[in-house]
Structure 1
Amino acid sequence: MIRTESDGDSADRAAREATGWFVRLNNPLATDDDRRAFRAWLDADPAHADAIGETRDLWDRLEAPANRLGASGWHREITPPRRRKRRTAAIAAALLATGFACLAIWRDAGLIDRAFADHATRPGERLEVVLSDGTRLYLDGDSALDASFAPAARDVTLLRGRAWFDVAPDPARPFIVHAGAIQARVLGTGFAIDRDAGSVVVDHGSVLVMVRGAQTVGLAANQRTALASDGALEPPTMVDPGVALAWRHGLIVLDAAPLADVATELARLEPGRLLIPDPKLAALRLSGVFRADDPDAIVEAMRAGLGLKAMSLPGVATVLYR
């Protein structure tokens, strides 16, 4: 999918933001500042009221069966007064709705980040965007970013996931990407940043990578750097962009990857979590080339190749064990 910032995707963004606000305001820890911020968001665009209304309608449809469940006596209330029974049923419904919200956030950790991002993708979704300056970017699954352009600079913040950029040249305005501790600065080039791995790979051109505003590493075409365990940037190393950026073409290349890293890859491919309770199993390594649209093949490779067993609740979690 390719879209531009002016393609009228405000409805999609409003829907994502409305979901985020609904979850945020139903949190018992929501503050008055949260509520004031929500009111400002609501007043900013008439489409926001429609979006929050549709979100509430969805949760209302869930509340009806919850009310029936609460009224059925599952909470073990013994001959309660009518008023108390109604109140208990309402509480049960609210708890059930809150439980649904918590489960949604647990199975999809990026839900909130994506709800408030300028551009975002769900697990299993990939998106190509053309920014207002002509820069093309490609978002992998479960990724989110904000773009803020000013006369003196073009700033992008990668909130989660990974993205590839083909930056439109503009000598008067450097293009700066912030991704956690890493900052990449370019004038016009093609490169990718992975926030989870703390890595930068250059396809063509050159990139200046900084960490915490101090250490600086310059990268040329076909080079990579990443955060080391001590928080410093590794020296540049040569890579094959066809392998390092295979995810852009719908392929997942695993080269003796620890299963903990495989779990991160799977989270980009489909909703739900891969759980490996045994640290010894999480340290096992997997190699292979897989299609991004077939995450089950990765799980099967762990089962057949590493002798593991898997127990799955589709869309929620898969547990690996022996």
Structure 2
Amino acid sequence: MEKENVEREREKEKDSFIGNTSAENESNMQTIDTCQAAFLPIGASVSLLIMFFFFDSLQMVFAICTAVLATVAFAFLLLPMCQYIIKPCSTGQKISFGVCGRFTAAEILSFCLSFFIVCIWVLTGHWLLMDALGMGLCVAFIALVRLPSLKVSTLLLVGLLIYDVFWVFFSSYIFSANVMVKVATRPAENPVGMFAKKLHLTGLVRDAPKLSLPGKLVFPSMQNSSHFSMLGLGDIVMPGLLLCFVLRYDAYKKSQTISVDTGVPPPPTYVQRLTYFHCSLVGYFLGLLTATVSSEVFKAAQPALLYLVPFTLLPLLTMAYLKGDLRRMWHEPFLAHTTPKDVDV
């Protein structure tokens, strides 16, 4: 009896720990509301213009801020791997660093590895390291930001679609240059080289290359190995937020369909087997493929969201309408609707 009581207490402690952890993760999430979704393209346009007009005078600030953000984001990406490696030889206790806070051994290791990779990227400027840091930024943003409803998702993606099309296709008529391409392809001065010039260290100046900031993923073109194709991080993050939303909704809907009496979900029909996540994922792949082919065919920069948004959003809206979930998904579907305790008879 004593052993059973001890086991029950351990299970309760484990459940409470899991509940506290999930509640802490929920509190760390940043939910985009309707106002933020409407003004995000405007804020992105202002940031783009600042980088276009003042890049030469602020390139050192851009390079340092990008390196700091990339270090933190890539450490977040490496954290699960470091936790798995250190788990056998670590007690999980946090180490105090004074005003900086308390961190576990896995967090310290992931930060050191990330800092080392960023230093190598600063010294070499290699595009593979830049892509790795860019992927870290994407993963961190998608993990910490979420969309609450299909209405906010549609407003955000349509607004960014207009933003992307305007700055790629029509900005040259106003600013005599393609603002999006100019900002994306302009390299920044290497901070190591800038400091070396002030200290008159000519060897470091010669070896420190200019940095292409990790606001995009680059990969060699299929037709010309010396030419690189680009994919903006926003073209990954914003559809990725939509995929996370529909994945959450699929799990929520599955939990709602489980029978209360038996606890066993009913056998799914053919239509129910096709989830919203699979539909959106296939649409994202087809949109990305279409954008890549269009860039190679027209030999010009293409706004990727012009293809990604219709290929992901339109099939999702159609599927939600056919399944009868459009109204529920359009408004915040994860809010718990409480029923009144006192019911008038």
Same fold (TM over 0.5): no
TM-score, normalization by structure 2: 0.22
Instruction: Kindly indicate whether structure 1 or structure 2 has the higher relative contact order, using CA contacts under 8 Å at least 6 residues apart.
Output: 2
> Which structure: greater helix fraction?
2
Q: Which has the larger radius of gyration?
A: 2
Task: From the two aligned structures, give the one with the greater strand fraction.
Answer: 1
